[in-house]
Amino acid sequence: MERNITGLISESEKELAEYCMESALGHGAAQVRISLSKSILDSVGMLNGEVDKVAHSADRSVFLYVFADGRYGTFSTNRLDKAELARFAANAVDTVKMLAEDPFRQLPDPARTEKGAVTGRELGLYDSSYEYMTAGKRMEIARDECISGKTGDGKDYRIISEECEYSDSTDDNLVLDSSGFYGRHTETSFAVCSEITIEDKGGRKYSGYWWDSSPFIDGLDRMACSEAALDRAIRQMNPRNRKGGKYRMVVDASVSSRLVSPVISALNAASIQQESSFLKDSLGKRIFGDGLSIIDCARTPGKPGARLFDTEGVATRDCEVIRGGAVKMYFTNTYIARKMGMEPTVEGVSRPVLVPFSCKKGCGEDSGVQFNAGRIMKECGSGIYVTGFNGGNCNQTTGDFSYGIEGFAFRDGQILHPVREMVITGNMVGLWNSLLFAGNDARPCTRWQIPSLCFDEVDFSS
């Protein structure tokens, strides 16, 4: 077996990717891009303290992007055999030549592509400890995470189910194109998760879930997920219905990205070109409240989501997405930029970071002070603390949303009781114009660095 210390992709596989590109060019393609990806995932699942399942999966794929006679097509295979690749490339080019013309398709300007992604490890997202993981070590971590047999039932409940899982993976991606781009990205990931279900004396069941992940095994918060999941289940006991109305809403950092995602999606130029974005014609304009600022920290070493290039090979950069409520950029790939007559940027967001904000001067803005959901509740008084979303959606064209929520009512900064069967409705622009606080407690394990948030006068119905 061929071993390559720089990642999963071997030299022979790299040469086959290059051969596939040359075959497509030789068969009449004007431009070609190749993406070769390999990954391995191992997991151990536990049920009530006993091993429930052990899984190992490996994946390898080649994506071929063909530009020929003013036409474009994408094809994939997992058969890395020289003769097979030659036939695959020839058939792909022949197929593209039968498609409708699309003069806006082409590779990005080489001046815009990344030049420094040579080994795949430039961002420090690969943990060499992964190479020494064994089935025994994975089993040990999974067992250590479980609390079944270690923690007894409580005074008012009993544990009826505990599901835990440990997993680790490594991914290696190589992108080449006929304009000379060469880029590689390699990373590892380690994760634990737990879901615990309890039953109270009345037979009512409640579930709690928690997880943690890191590119590094030492960065994983081990032996804590099951305890957190149990705590979240216990806190849901004895919920009460809450009268509908307008409340201040605090959203926990573990779920707050749900409210940012529609905003980021609406900044995709493809949606704008298709008239399906509520942020059409917003570039350079102040659309949201002064408190909303989002930065894409795409090139932060050692952090989840960091990358040096997008799927086109275009170099990423740390940049402002929204500053003080004003839209600073759209995510515009080469194709959409040419189609709309715009300046291209990057294909999408890498590591969005929502900047801490307070409507009260000096409150929570100092990064040296922990400004989490608990502190925000004390600052804003009374309202609803949202810890989960149960379905719902946001209309990407209008920005109107409706989400089911779970969480707690609070008064004077203190939690009163769990709430159930409540729905929030509104419009994304209006919601973000009512932002009162953004904390500094984003979870380190997440690619989207979104902290706890607080909004004023949110419509709740029960």
pLDDT value at 3 more than 60: no
CA distance 100 to 166: 48
pTM: 0.93
- pLDDT bucket at 363, cuts 50 / 70 / 90: low
Residue 361: predicted pLDDT: 66
The answer to whether residue 408 sits within a structural domain is: yes
Is the pLDDT confidence value at 130 over 50?
Answer: yes
Residues 328, 454, single domain; the answer is: yes
* Residue 262 located in a structural domain: yes
Percentage of the residues of the chain whose pLDDT score is greater than 90:
92
Whether residue 5 is predicted with pLDDT greater than 60 in this model: the reply is no
Residue at which a domain ends, from 183, 203, 235: 235
- 218 with 270, same domain: the answer is no
For the residues 133-139, what does the mean pLDDT come to?
97
Of 203, 235, 267, the domain-final residue:
235
Res 140: pLDDT:
96
Q: Are residues 165 and 39 in the same domain?
A: yes
DSSP letters of 83-111?
Answer: HHHHHHHHHHHHHHTTSPP-TT--PPPGG
Same structural domain for residues 287 and 355? yes
Q: What is the mean pLDDT of the chain?
A: 95
Q: Where does the pLDDT of residue 222 fall: very low under 50, low under 70, confident under 90, or very high at 90 and above? A: confident
Neighbour-count burial of 232, counting CB atoms closer than 10 A to its CB (0-12 exposed, 13-18 middle, 19+ buried) = buried
Per-residue confidence (pLDDT) for residue 420, from 0 to 100: 84
Q: What is the DSSP letter of 240?
A: B
> Is residue 151 very low, low, confident or very high in pLDDT (cuts 50, 70, 90)?
confident
* Token duo for residue 317: 């950069």
- Residue 126 located in a structural domain: yes
The reply to whether 148 falls in a domain is yes
Residue 266 is assigned to a structural domain of this protein: yes
Q: Do 222 and 252 share a domain, yes or no?
A: no
Q: Closest Cα partner for 387 from 371, 405, 411? A: 405
Band (1; pLDDT cuts 50, 70, 90) = very low
Cα–Cα distances (Å) from 409 to 158, 204, 377, 455, 458, in that order, read 25, 20, 10, 15, 14
Residue 317 predicted with pLDDT over 50: yes
261 and 203 fall within a common domain: no
Q: How many helices (H) and strands (E) does the chain have?
A: 9, 17
Number of domains in the chain: 2
Residues 264-279, mean pLDDT to the nearest whole number: 97
CA-to-CA distance for 335 and 70, rounded, in angstroms?
12
**How does DSSP assign 330-347, residue by residue?**
-B--HHHHHHHT-----S
Whether the CB-CB separation of 67 and 34 falls below 8 Å is answered with: no
Residue carrying structure tokens 């189609």: 339
How many of the other CB atoms lie within 10 Å of CB of 245? 12
Task: State mean pLDDT over 156-160.
Answer: 95
pLDDT at 364 over 70: no
Please measure the distance between the N-terminal and C-terminal CA atoms of the chain and give it in whole angstroms.
61
Residue 42 belongs to domain with CATH number: 3.30.2290.10
* Residue 5 domain-assigned (yes or no): no
Is the same domain home to 174 and 39? yes
Q: Report the alpha-carbon distance of residue 3 to residue 50 in Å, rounded.
A: 35
Last residue of one domain, picked from the residues 235, 270, 303: 235
* One domain, residues 91 and 223: yes
| pLDDT average, residue stretch 151-158 | 91
Q: For position 406, what pLDDT does the model report? A: 95
Task: Name residue, tokens 């705590």.
Answer: 231
Residue bearing the bigger pLDDT, 356 or 362: 356
Contacts of 374 (CB under 8 A, 6+ apart): 413
Locus of tokens 């759209």: 330
What is the pLDDT, as a whole number, of residue 4?
Answer: 43
Whether the pLDDT of residue 365 is over 60: the answer is: no
| pLDDT (tens digit per residue) in 395-444 | 999 999 999 999 999 999 999 999 988 999 999 999 999 999 999 999 99
2 in a structural domain:
no
Query: Is 453:251 a contact under the CB 8 Å cutoff?
Result: yes
Region for residue 94 given its phi and psi (left: phi exceeds 0; alpha: psi -120 to 50; beta: otherwise)? alpha
Q: Are residues 291 and 401 in the same domain?
A: yes
Looking at the structure, tell me whether residues 208 and 267 fall in a common domain: no
Q: pLDDT band at 322, cuts 50/70/90?
A: very high
pLDDT over 70 (residue 367): no
Write out the residue range of the structural domain in which residue 161 sits.
Answer: 11-235
Q: How confident is the model at residue 454 (pLDDT cuts 50, 70, 90)?
A: very high
DSSP 128: G
Q: What are the residues whose beta carbons fall under 8 Å from the beta carbon of 132, sequence distance 6 or more?
A: none
Which of the listed ranges 110-124, 228-242, 357-371 does the model predict with the highest average pLDDT? Answer: 110-124
183 and 263 both lie in a single domain: no
Q: Does one domain contain both 151 and 250? A: no
**Mean pLDDT throughout 228-237?**
95
Which letter, b or e, does each residue of 258-274 get, where b requires 16 or more Cβ atoms within 10 Å of its Cβ? bbbebbbbbbbbbbbbe
Nearest to 168 by CA among 194, 139, 143, 196: 139
Asked if pLDDT for residue 288 goes beyond 70, the answer is yes
- Rounded mean pLDDT, 446-450: 97
Q: Which band of pLDDT confidence, cut at 50, 70 and 90, is reported for residue 2? A: very low
